[in-house]
Amino acid sequence: MNGKYRLSTLGCKVNQYESQQLRELCESLGYLPAQLDEAADIAIVNTCAVTNTALSKSRQETRRLTHGGRTAVIVVGCGATADAERIRNIQGVSAVVGHDGDALNEVRKILVSLPADERSQLSTSHKAGDQAHANRSAAGENELWMMQDHQAVTRLAADTPSALKPQGIISKGLPIVKEDKFLHGRIERFEGHQRAFLKVQDGCDAFCTYCIIPQLRSSLQSKPIEQAVAEARRLVESGHKEIIITGIFLGAFGRDTAIRKRFASTESPLASLVRALSQVDGLKRLRLSSLEPGDVDSALLEVIATSEVCVPHLHLPLQSGSAEILRRMNRQYTRDEFLNMIERVNAALDRPAITTDIIVGFPGEAEEDFMASMEMARHAEFLKIHAFPFSPRDKTAAARWQREFIPKAIARERMQRLAEVERECSRNYRQRAIGQIERVLVEGNEANQTGELCQGRTDRYFRLFFESRNAKPGDIVNIRVDRVTPTRTHGTHLPARTSQIPLCVLSS
């Protein structure tokens, strides 16, 4: 009987992608996913450490999975790097694998050395720091896997134009082969999701004053364009019609630093990547994750605007609308540069949807600073604002500015006011879509009295609800937007013969 595994993921899109790699690794070794009511032989917790709260939740999830003591629990991810000793001391944890080396391969070594009768020994050996038990491999299987993977990426790297090759990159991160400078982890499918994430970049050295990530994923790696295209083809062949390009600092794709003033070239490796991915046969939608003003250059905008598959939606984290707070955050753009980017995006794309992140209550944020964020939100008319109250993260510069911390009551009140602005902006944007035909990737449906109520994301990212008797998850359908409520957008399913809808246009 095959063993069972359970995988728990906390955190960002990159973590979700890396968990897909862990899932495929487990299943390649013969493990099957444990159902909710089943016991698991192994459990892997992919942790997050972006805030103290995220780290606390990671420890809580680890304790939950160790309850009962019959499961071998392996802890990976940013939390395993940031808080290794504390997690290692949780009773029942078998192994802690951080980002200090090739973590995916370390997990593989552990799993292939884990017959049922030795599972209890794993916990003892790792607690004592004995790595010999985890380093065994079955009949050279692991060495063969490493050699094949390394040779494949060496061939890909040789064919990559020199202008697009990341220079001076040191491998360090979950899916990296340590001896190679390129990011070349891969997945075959994104289980449980209609939309697939494709990780093409890892690492950040920009050191925003509130962020711990550069201390946990400091070395930058980029995936060769040919390999990214090959992976995208596999994802499309597996049934995914939309791919979301992601990374720790996506704008640093093809670079050896995330600090823009140190960029060796003004060329846009990211634009070249997007252009190549846009040509993958069968791909219907291509979306980018977070970008900053310096990332959205004319080359990238032109590729998005002229592509048949790139969607008119960009996630552009603002963090603050205050020039002074942006400076204190050590963001690599000014308020004016963000405003200029919004104007360029609106001029280049057809009805672009812009989503953002905003931190509320950053140390020293005066009322006028917060009002600047509110003003910017209304000006940009963000479709969605991911708002976060400032949370001091240990070992970051902002965590030391305790005398300037904003009282929690004031931060909560500001969060409420910003939420009102978000609802206003979202409704205004969606109301302008009434009468327009939007393309929707169906993600779910539920039965009702007249047929089935379906829902899915539009190219412009907002969710659309509509009735249909034949639309099913994974389909791409045309929906006419009919009405908008504060929380929902409703439309009518149009026949398949409805003409092709252009996604983006370049302005004259």
CATH of the domain at 27: 3.40.50.2300
442 and 427 assigned to the same domain: no
DSSP for 96-127, please give it.
Answer: EE-TTSBHHHHHHHHHHT--GGGHHHHHHHHH
**Given a cut of 80, is residue 164 above it in pLDDT?**
no
48 and 128 assigned to the same domain: yes
**Given a cut of 50, is residue 147 above it in pLDDT?**
no
Contact 264, 162 (CB under 8 A): no
pLDDT on residue 448: 62
**Given a cut of 70, is residue 138 above it in pLDDT?**
no
Of 138, 164, 186, the last residue of a domain is 138
315 and 445 assigned to the same domain: no
Residue 502 lies in a domain: no
pLDDT in tens, 13-57: 999 999 999 999 999 999 999 988 888 999 999 999 999 899 999
DSSP for 22-42, please give it.
Answer: HHHHHHHTT-EEPPTTS--SE
Q: Which of 227, 222, 269, 267 is nearest to 246 (CA)?
A: 222
**Given a cut of 50, is residue 171 above it in pLDDT?**
no
262 and 366 assigned to the same domain: yes
Residue 503 lies in a domain: no
| Percent of the chain scoring above 70 in pLDDT | 83
Residue 179 lies in a domain: yes
pLDDT, mean of residues 69-98: 92
User: Domain holding 244: CATH number?
Assistant: 3.80.30.20
241 and 326 assigned to the same domain: yes
In 71-99, which positions are buried (b, 16+ CB within 10 angstroms) versus exposed (e)? bbbbbbbbbbbbbeeebbeeebbbbbbbb
pLDDT, mean of residues 246-269: 93
pLDDT on residue 131: 36
If one compares 146 and 117, the residue with the highest pLDDT of the two is: 117
265 and 233 assigned to the same domain: yes
pLDDT, mean of residues 72-93: 94
380 and 416 assigned to the same domain: yes
In 369-403, which positions are buried (b, 16+ CB within 10 angstroms) versus exposed (e)? bbebbbebbeebbbbbbebbebbebeebbbbebee
pLDDT on residue 160: 36
442 and 304 assigned to the same domain: no
**Given a cut of 50, is residue 191 above it in pLDDT?**
yes
Of 138, 165, 198, the last residue of a domain is 138
Specify the length of the chain in residues.
508
pLDDT in tens, 442-482: 998 876 656 679 999 999 999 999 999 889 999 999 999 99
pLDDT in tens, 274-325: 999 999 999 999 999 999 999 999 999 999 999 999 999 999 999 999 999 9
How many domains does the structure of the chain reveal? 3
Of 403, 431, 459, the last residue of a domain is 431
Q: Which domain holds residue 102?
A: 4-138
**Given a cut of 50, is residue 166 above it in pLDDT?**
no
- The SS3 of residue 415 is helix
